[in-house]
Structure 1
């Protein structure tokens, strides 16, 4: 059955199949309605014609004193004079008072008689019925019983009949012409549908060629104007291409940075080992720590870059900050610092990985603990779908020039303070990957205030 479903994989064939089904259904219903209306019109016209002939027959009927019926003048339609022409009349005078029954009939009947009237027929009433005529033809008969004003006869029965061929042949001819006309109409509508579908799908063909150019590397994005229904798809696809290119550039840059960062400690270790330096164990420990920090830095960036593509991430920040504060109080226990969480709403959540949030805020809190005199205050609020997290300390603070410089990887606010200089650099890098930002300004406590803007869940 797979071959039956295969054509429906084509959007063009699906559209044409839908149009074909609707056109055939519509034309069939319209053709049936038109045929029925024409049939009703022909039959009504036939009945009207029979009624006219019956009125003429009634007006021409004469009955003398002896009860003999005659017609003067005879009905004028020439078909009454041709044998088996399909149009017939008959006048039946019943037997009465010893007189034999009398039948007057058109020459077209030849030697055939129309049936007598139904016993249900009332004087002055017309009756529509069917009967068999010459050669077994199907006849439509209109019968009328009249009472003559003169003569001994009580009533006479007048009949006018028409052969089925009189209405069947025009209906059949009309049906053939209607079928041809509707067939031409269906063919024309299908051709128009094919042209319309082909023209409507032409932008998709052009889009396919543009995609082939992207796949072959001739261009790096899809250019050109497309219909409004397709343009959003093109824009989204261009964004995907741009993000993939950016991700590839970041991966290459990170790989290069990591290789360069590891090259230095490895060179130092190699030189120390070759020179048989007695301080080799301490040097190995320092360089291994430096290499570990570099690996952790690049792993954190890689994890954040992957998390940005994941939807539905939600990390409540209050429990994470409470855990980080407890860790920092133990790390800086000898300085007796006070870490404050200033009215942070429990419903605030970060749209990203909790590990990345801990990486960023852990570095900021650790840096604040190094420079604070007594207090470190953390606050957060939400504005326009973003989280603003502020970490303030009561330390000496930083000038605007130094505030921007400390975010450079490998730079520290004070070179005499231990560290690799990766802390605030990775904070800004991770925030940037999530579409946020990190900056330092003067806080209300007199020291530095690190503000991190991140997407809110």
Structure 2
């Protein structure tokens, strides 16, 4: 999963989003606490205004009505408390709601208009305090501190509830954000999938170049890949043309030498030398063919070819049936009809042709070709019911020029060509005993 660019970007974006949320949480809580304290301060200030408007000075004595306009002051179980202190800090009045409260707050008349602070009662409970110093009727003796209080516990409950809701909503928002990020990345990487599909089509031979229908940021990459494809195609074509020219240039001298050897064969005294000459000419021809096959049957760097095994096997078996018609070889098939192998047609034709020719030549009458795909790799098996290969000789025949069968002409390069083709495609070859009774050539090819 970590090899996926989309997953990496998603993890990075999710990490940044989580870190941002974690940094945002205390800021939002702090902002809510400040806003809530401001609201409490304004509420207590409004309650102070109610007390001030209700206060009367009769002579030198403060007179407060028994029933106040704000009902919370009149209820004993209310959390809104009201106090009035004189200039010396002596409590001269308390509301009905504050009768059972013993708050240790003593104002100091300093001439400030108002004070918003906190205090505690004898039980340790904390209260918000809003203290307004006011000079009633303009006389020094009529200077009072009008105080309203409210428990901090209610504030903390609100903050706690807000925090829980904040966690819930931000958590939900984070999940929605991550989902949107995932969808957004999927939409953004759609162009990457389009490029991948086009590369797959190039590998399968369905198209030759990448299109220009890609985002501007990727055009530099697609142009570079197109230049690489054109360069590779041109180089391969030039290489093949050069090989064809080489084969053609060597074909004529070899034909001349062959003709000369045939003329010389008419003289009895030259027969031994002619046999040596013809043997060497044949050897040169086979070696040239082998080297040309090695050079031309190389896997492409970008284009991945696939060839259906069934039709190609039909072609080979038709030709071999004519060559070995006296044997009446039965060719068994053990693979799905639609199976395709990841090789060029020419490479598969040469590889399978060499192995089938050996199998037909050495078999008693049965040859089997099997193929399957396992764990992403392909396995190709060619078996026969012939004499088989002794275990101590199996490595020997894989070496160029080594042959166990000396009764038929050849230079022992068939299996070497097979090994070269497999090496160029990253494959391998193993020799084993077949349940048909003969040899089993088992090849592995990466998918």
TM-score by length of 1: 0.50
Matched, 1:110 2:99: yes
Shift of 1:210: 3.0
Structure 1 residue matching 2:103: 3-state secondary structure: coil
| Correspondence 1:76 to 2:64 | no
What is the 5 A alignment of 1:104-143? 104-119=93-108, 121-123=109-111, 125-133=113-121, 135-143=123-131
Give the 5 Å matches for 1:155-194.
155-194=143-182
Q: Secondary structure at the match of 1:131?
A: strand
| Displacement after TM superposition at 1:30 (Å) | 4.7
> What is the deviation of 1:165?
3.2
For structure 1, list consecutive stretches of 5 or more residues without a partner in the other structure. 1-5, 277-301, 303-457
Distance 1:229 1:151 in 2: 81
**Structure 1 residue 47: deviation in Å?**
1.2
> In the superposition, relative to structure 1, how do residues 242 and 102 fare at CA in structure 2: closer, same or farther (>3 Å)?
closer
CA shift for structure 1 position 232? 4.0
Pair 39,263 (structure 1): closer, same or farther in 2 beyond 3 Å: same
Q: 1:249 to 1:144 in 2, by over 3 A?
A: closer
The within-5 A match list for 1:38-77 is 38-65=32-59, 67-72=60-65, 74-77=67-70
- Aligned position for 1:358: none
Say if 2:25 is the partner of 1:36. no
Q: Distance in 2 between matches of 1:28 and 1:105?
A: 45
How far is 1:36 from its partner? 3.1
Tell me the CA shift for residue 257 of structure 1: 1.0
Displacement after TM superposition at 1:12 (Å)? 0.3
CA distance, structure 2, for counterparts of residue 245 and residue 95 of structure 1: 103
Change (3 A) 1:268 1:132: same
1:125 Cα deviation (Å)? 4.0
Secondary structure of the residue that 1:136 maps to in structure 2? coil
Separation in structure 2 between the aligned mates of residue 102 and residue 243 of structure 1, nearest angstrom: 99
Unaligned runs of 5+ in 2: 265-294, 296-447
3-state SS in 2 of match to 1:129: strand
Given that 1:109 and 1:134 are in contact with CA atoms closer than 8 Å, whether structure 2 keeps it comes out as: no
Cα distance in 2 for residues equivalent to 1:42 and 1:168: 10
- Check the 8 A contact 1:50/1:160 in 2, yes or no: yes
1:63 and 1:150 in contact (8 A); partners too? no
Aligned partner (choices 261, 264, 271) of residue 249 of structure 2: 261
Change in Cα spacing, 1:127 to 1:233, as seen in structure 2 (3 Å) is closer
Query: Cα offset for 1:32?
Result: 4.3
Aligned residue for 1:229, secondary structure, equals: helix
Matched, 1:196 2:189: no
Aligned positions of 1:134-153 closer than 5 A: 135-147=123-135, 149=137, 153=141
- The aligned counterpart of 1:242 is 230
Q: Deviations over 1:113-143 (max 9, x none)?
A: 3334244x31464333311147532101122
Give the CA deviation at 1:192.
1.5
Aligned positions, number:
272
Cα separation, partners in 2 of 1:146 and 1:215, compared to 1, 3 Å: closer
**Does residue 201 of structure 2 align to residue 213 of structure 1?**
yes
| Counterpart contact for 2:74–2:97, Cα < 8 Å | yes
Distance 1:47 1:15 in 2: 47
Task: Determine if contact 1:123/1:155 at 8 Å carries over to the other structure.
Answer: no
Q: Distance in 2 between matches of 1:106 and 1:169?
A: 25
Larger Rg over CA atoms: 1
What does residue 357 of structure 1 align with?
A: none
1:144–1:200 distance in 2 versus 1, CA, 3 Å: closer
- In 1, Cα distance between the equivalents of 2:239 and 2:72? 100
